[in-house]
């Protein structure tokens, strides 16, 4: 087996072909980034642990304070858990519908923006100046072109 010394490795790494194979250097992340709730590991662990702890607390609470046997307490906990999950899911769906933050509407918006950017790139400078001097908003121009 051939062994490589550090000097021979440096000469290999200095070549343009092999320099691409070097590991990328770590980029320090800015510490002032604010991440929305639910998008960090801590939040995911919290969101998974709370229902579990809540279920056990309800189960043992129903046994101790309501005097239910373990089978009845388990049934009540299951019904409560499924009801809360259904209400939460329906509520989140209705919220997304109300705020129009759904996948289809976002895809449609992205598509319309891409079409507008493509049309703008295809226009000459004089056409762009004419549109800007007309005083119309981009939405009005888009609607007029869509009708035609």
d(CA 141, CA 144): 5
pLDDT of residue 99: 87
pLDDT of residue 101: 80
pLDDT of residue 8: 47
pLDDT of residue 132: 81
d(CA 19, CA 97): 50
Measured at the CA of 140, the angle between CA 134 and CA 144, to 5 degrees, comes to 95
Burial 76-100 (b: 16+ CB within 10 A, else e): ebeeeeeeeeeeeeeeeeeeeeeee
Helices (H), 33-69: 41-65
Contact between 73 and 63 under an 8 Å Cβ cutoff? The reply is yes
What are the mean pLDDT values of the chain's consecutive 10-residue runs (148 residues total)?
Answer: 50 49 58 80 93 95 96 96 95 90 86 89 86 80 77
Strands (E), the chain: none
pLDDT of residue 57: 96
pLDDT of residue 20: 52
Burial class (CB in 10 A: 0-12, 13-18, 19+), 118: exposed
């Amino acid at each position: 087996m051939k062994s490589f010394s550090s000097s021979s490795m440096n000469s290999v790494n200095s070549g343009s072909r092999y320099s691409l194979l070097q590991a990328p250097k770590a980029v320090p992340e800015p510490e002032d980034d604010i991440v929305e709730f639910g998008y960090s590991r801590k939040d995911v662990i919290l969101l998974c642990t709370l229902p579990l702890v809540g279920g056990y607390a309800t189960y043992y609470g129903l046994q101790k304070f309501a005097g239910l046997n373990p089978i009845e307490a388990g049934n009540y906990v299951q019904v409560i858990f499924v009801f809360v999950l259904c209400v939460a899911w329906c509520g989140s769906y209705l919220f997304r519908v109300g705020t129009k933050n759904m996948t289809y509407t976002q895809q449609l918006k992205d598509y319309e923006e891409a079409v507008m950017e493509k049309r703008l790139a295809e226009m000459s400078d004089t056409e762009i100046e004419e549109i800007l001097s007309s005083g119309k908003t981009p939405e009005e121009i888009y609607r007029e072109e869509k009708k035609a």
